[in-house]
Chains A and B, each alone.
Chain A
């Protein structure tokens, strides 16, 4: 039950893009087509899950026993950066089709603040390893969901007449605002769990 609560909250109530404002740059950057949105969503899910497990173990096994939590930011970002590189190399070797699908998105992920954000959030929220993993997967699912919905809207938007100054990013931002408003309708569901 606890895990269902975490999943629902992470996907709908506290959606990572629309309520917590993490990963906005790729959200605006790769959401012009549905295909790329799906690819990015999958890549984020993959890296986020692995990164959360690794950083969680590092925090509990290395930083906390030695009392050097202040090195958290610097350790996490280095681990994430090298992890992304490693994942890229491994996928390339093990599964070329998967690399074909996710390859272009992987380098972009290092600077995606979702990864570092979630790694820090699960420590702040005092989750156990299992709930951290559940939270990470659910957050990534929420990210993919927002990205895919937004990209379908933007495909329509590309065909619409928009005032010159509003073209491109401004109208996309306002659309995202309306989408965020729709997601606000989910708030309160978490009271059930």
Chain B
């Protein structure tokens, strides 16, 4: 691999985290972003699960892109994605039952996460395997970071903890932020802050 393609791939990766951040900029995949971020660790696990599906589906779809007829490409993509989601679901149920419980229905719902299908259609179907891999890592990383940041914010304001390490007594926390309304409000402010930083 020469230097030029490498720089291009690195740029694809960084774009996924900053310029095309799926949650803060593209505003995709909002459902899991709001629902599973009641704590930092939950947000991170959801991000990693999505990242795994995204990387695998990107690789498989960019490998198969010349074999899939154009007319049935969307159903074909969905089957590929659903396969990897089922793998994640089964592995999580077997080895991390507590986590699978707290993420609940949002694991199978990775299938309808617009980010995964969106990247398959917009990137993997047009680019080679290696760039698709980097795109998967970049977007997945961006998603994971966004979810972790949101989870940590809510956990900190709501319970005074970060990754279960206590910073101030739980009684002083605003429980609201762990509940549903806090998810919307925290994400609203985080998107606003991200907007502000990006503009400058």
Q: Which residue of B lies closest to A73 (CB)?
A: B108
Q: How many A-B residue pairs have CB under 8 A?
A: 120
Give A155-185 as 1s and 0s: 1 = Cβ < 8 Å from B's Cβ atoms: 0000000011110011111101110110010
Chain A interface extent, by class? 35 or more
- Does A120 reach chain B (CB closer than 8 Å)? yes
Binds A, one of B2-10, B77-85, B141-149: B77-85
B96 at the interface (CB under 8 A from A): no
Q: Which residues of B contact A181 (CB under 8 A)?
A: 176, 181
Q: Which of A166, A169, A176, A180 contacts B27 (CB 8 A)?
A: A169
Interface size for chain B: under 10, 10 to 19, 20 to 34, or 35 or more residues?
35 or more
Q: Across the interface, which residues of A come within 8 angstroms of B117, CB to CB?
A: 111
A116 to B112, CA, bound (A): 8
CB-contacts of B25-54 with A (<8 A):
27-28, 30-32, 34-35
A111 to B110, CA, bound (A): 11
- Nearest CB of chain B from residue A61's CB, rounded to whole Å: 20
B180 lies within 8 A of A24 (CB): no
Per-residue CB contact flags for chain B residues 148-186 toward chain A (1 = under 8 Å, else 0) read 000000000000000000000000000010011111110
A21-B34, A25-B28 known; A174+B75 contact, CB < 8 A = no
The yes or no answer to B86 lying at the interface (CB within 8 A) is yes
A189 at interface (Cβ–Cβ under 8 A)? no
Known contacts A112-B112, A116-B111, A177-B185, A169 near B191 by CB under 8 Å: yes
Chain B positions near chain A (C-beta within 8 angstroms): 27-28, 30-32, 34-35, 74-75, 78-79, 82-83, 85-86, 89-90, 105, 108-109, 111-114, 117, 176, 179-185, 187-189, 191-193, 195-196, 199
Task: Supply 16 A–B pairs (Cβ within 8 Å), ascending by A.
Answer: A21-B30, A21-B34, A21-B35, A71-B86, A73-B108, A74-B79, A74-B82, A81-B75, A111-B117, A170-B188, A170-B191, A170-B195, A176-B184, A176-B188, A177-B184, A184-B181
